[in-house]
Amino acid sequence: SSTRRSVCTRTSPVMAVSSPLHSNSDIHCVTFAAGTPTHLAQVYDEWAVTYDDTVQNTLAGTGVHHPTTELLSVLKQCVPTAKAILDVGAGTGVAGPLLAAQYQPSRMVALDLSRGMLEVASSLPNQGGYTQFVQACCPDLGDAHGPFDLCICAGTFIPNHAPPETLQSLVKATQPGGFICFSVRKHFFDDLESGFSTLQQKLVDEGKWELVTKEERDYLPKQQINAYYFAYRVLQH
């Protein structure tokens, strides 16, 4: 695979969480090789404190968390208001303060597989604007009960992470007229085996949602990786 597809090879060995990690880029590779959701959660628990620095500097090379900032730019174009928001794969809560400033929601739920990541998010000033923190393994949304006006997922639809079936869960959790906005790495979406393009079109064909926009934007510029950023309007459950 080329460097446009991944910063680490898909044959990277599964590394025990207790093993010494030589660099932040190493732990990034481990997430793609983790064999179970429990192992993946443990990796992110260990990574939580340095995660933002890794993404913004080591991987993106710009000091910017592009999956979040680019998605928020799309939201500004497509979603005028949102009082109940679900942030799927919220991680360390980077999107929280931005969403809070943009929409002033009365309810905003942070959902993530990793308790350690959620602890970082909850330690932000004003809890990052979040009103609830839910640890769950997608496509199960756990205690993140709808209805929501807006569901977002920035940077979690990647190999070995949240599966495409998560989108069906989000449709059920979003009230008709609400929005689901998310990113998928371009090479991953274009690979039909990932299941995203097929499922997204299936939901259109079933009349569950309609596409508002699809834009190719920066994702990890230093790695020459772009993503598609989508916004859908939910029509029915």
Supply the DSSP symbol for 75: H
* C-beta of residue 204 within 8 angstroms of C-beta of residue 165: no
pLDDT mean across residues, the chain: 89
Q: Which of 114, 125, 70, 108 is nearest to 89 (CA)?
A: 114
- pTM for the whole thing? 0.88
Residue range 152-196, pLDDT digits in tens: 999 999 999 999 999 999 999 999 999 999 999 999 999 999 999
CA distances to 10, 33, 53, 114, 231 from 151, rounded to whole Å, are 30, 27, 25, 19, 10
Residue range 119-155, pLDDT digits in tens: 999 999 999 999 999 999 999 999 999 999 999 999 9
Task: Please report which confidence band the pLDDT of residue 4 belongs to, taking 50, 70 and 90 as the band edges.
Answer: very low
**pLDDT given at position 199:** 98
Parallel, antiparallel or unpaired: strands 225-234 and 174-185: antiparallel
CA torsion sign for 22, 161, 157, 177 is negative
CA torsion sign for 213, 154, 28, 56 is positive
